[in-house]
Structure 1
């Protein structure tokens, strides 16, 4: 609710600002920095589809690219677990911080996201059960984007074809955060592609 109020207030004065979404419990402050265009997939599951994700970080008012912005990305694997939950994933699997180039461009390889259930043995799961809420999170990728002189953005992007979009257990889905993964040709590392621009406003 707080996130919705904050974004709605900003949207009234800022057309096209990328929407925010909750941070979630699995962000890590010590995620390593990685070279633009490299991968965060170090333990590829047999049922995983690799995505080449790329785009620009730009100023929402001027459209100018923001050089040396940081794009912090993290996601769960196809078994629904983030690396700190899963002893079979190496540390920092499916995580990385990337820096945009002089044209504001970022790029990396990740997995097509998978929906997963919120653990029901913890306080969050028990609360959802008490409220008779769905326990599934729709397929998503987390992003935290920062650029000098601009307000930082924490968000999630969601697979538009995921069947759980209308029943997100934590109400984080916004229509403008749904994306389409398309086939990628000529790349032996990835079967899919996602182009996604992030629009920030001045601090």
Structure 2
């Protein structure tokens, strides 16, 4: 097609994809083209504005490393991550709800025994977690793999600290025969997502704050069940209703209890105040 104009170009692009052999790819790309073209027409996008948008996306990619994923951060702050979670992980009433994965999970966390300390020397008040992993019908899920990761008392994950020689605030556990999971960590605090890159520039330009409410991350995998990626949030956090990545669900607010110095759940004597969290995770069965 020659002499393409703003009224005919969308159909021309769609026509070029008419021979795409992958039906799902064709569906996705066709919808993407239609919506992008409609967006450009709706806002009357200028060439200078689109050039600035390309620069923004280029900078987003350049900010990514093996320890930082700026595109995930962008997806999170635009609500796209949570939208895809909500669409793809609708749960039964009994099952624990999913939320965003976040940009700070890394593979290869140390395998620890139940009861061990995941902090690895990270700063923070002691937190003792005692959880269960069960199926929708109440059956304990034994030997489930549970990835746990959290920020320290200053709001940083270990991958944000260049001077660390070993992981901090992350580990992988296996539940026992009763589906029980227990370990020691640090009390989570609210923290700002990184703002030294393009996402931070976008938040500042749109007058949005970068704060996430205090939480601990969990990823639970077991044969016969859907993988659960979720958080447990502190109920006293001021950012629960304005999470920068839209990830809070009321059912994921846990009961973090504070205790004076004394004997902790693992029998150790704590010379300073400590905290406990009890939480029950319920997995959805895998589709047949």
Q: Fold conserved (TM > 0.5)?
A: yes
**Unaligned regions of 5+ residues in structure 1, if any?**
none
The offset of 1:90, in angstroms, is 4.2
Specify the alignment match of 2:196 in structure 1.
Answer: 121
Does 2:100 match 1:26? Answer: no
- The 5 A counterparts of 1:65-144 are 65-144=140-219
Alpha carbons 1:42, 1:90 under 8 Å: kept? no
SS in 2 for 1:125: helix
CA distance in 2, matches of 1:71, 1:152: 10
- Across the aligned residues of Structure 1 and Structure 2, the Cα RMSD in angstroms comes to 1.6
- The 5 A counterparts of 1:1-203 are 1-7=83-89, 10-11=90-91, 14-45=92-123, 48-60=124-136, 62-184=137-259, 186-187=263-264, 188-189=269-270, 191-203=274-286
Q: CA-to-partner distance for each residue in 1:116-173, whole Å, 9 max, x for gaps?
A: 1122111222222233322101111111001111110111111010011111101001
Structure that is richer in strand per residue:
1
Based on CA coordinates, which of the two structures has the bigger radius of gyration?
2
**Unaligned regions of 5+ residues in structure 2, if any?**
1-82
SS in 2 for 1:180: strand
Q: Which has the higher contact order (CA 8 A, sep 6+)?
A: 1
Q: Aligned in 2, Cα 1:79/1:133: closer, same or farther, shift over 3 Å?
A: same
Q: How many residue pairs align between the two structures?
A: 196
Alpha carbons 1:3, 1:21 under 8 Å: kept? yes
Provide TM-score, normalisation by structure 1: 0.90
CA distance in 2, matches of 1:110, 1:158: 14
Structure that is richer in helix per residue:
2
Displaced runs of 4 or more, over 6 A? none
CA distance in 2, matches of 1:176, 1:27: 22
Provide TM-score, normalisation by structure 2: 0.65
Specify the alignment match of 2:37 in structure 1.
Answer: none
